[in-house]
Amino acid sequence: MQIDSFKANSMEKRKGSCLCGTVKFETRGPIKGIGSCHCSKCRKVSGTNGNAVFLVASNDFAWIEGQQNTLEFAFPNGWGVTRCDTCGSPLPASHDGKQYWVPAGLMDDPLNTEMKQHIFCASRADWDRESADSKSFDEFPI
């Protein structure tokens, strides 16, 4: 996608980047919601309890800089992940050329949406449950 035509469009744009800032991108238009996959592959890719992503059409996605710093890892069945070659952050990927799967945690701007679905919940890790005595903190507890 050409960045010039993307920036000329007046729809809402949101910026995202990897941890080190080498790779930057934009999405355009409303985000319909976040989905989290809890399958064993997504847990391995993220190192957490799931993989929170949103989808955007390919013409609503643009690489701003660092696209040459992306590394794609793919299994023979086509499943894979794209990462920054500097910091290892997972990056947006298009598997069909029609849409991008964008890791929600990469976004620098607010998404103005919420978690809409969880998939492969039967594959959740045994520790992926809220306990009755679970606590939340706004900052690192002292």
pLDDT in tens, 48-94: 999 999 999 999 999 999 999 999 998 888 788 999 999 999 999 99
**C-beta neighbour count of 47 within 10 angstroms:** 7
| Adjacent-strand bridge partners of 22 | none
**Type of residue at 118:** H
Token duo for residue 3: 């960045």
Q: What's the predicted TM-score (pTM) here?
A: 0.85
pLDDT tens by residue, 99-123: 999 999 999 999 999 999 999 999 9
Structural domains in the chain, sorted by start: 3-123 (2.170.150.70)
**All residues at 6 or more sequence positions from 9 whose CB lies less than 8 Å from its CB, including other chains:** 28
More confident residue, 110 or 7: 110
Residue 126, pLDDT score: 92
Contacts for 124-131: CB closer than 8 Å, 24+ residues apart: 124/38, 124/49, 124/50, 125/38, 125/43, 125/49, 127/49, 128/38, 128/49, 128/50
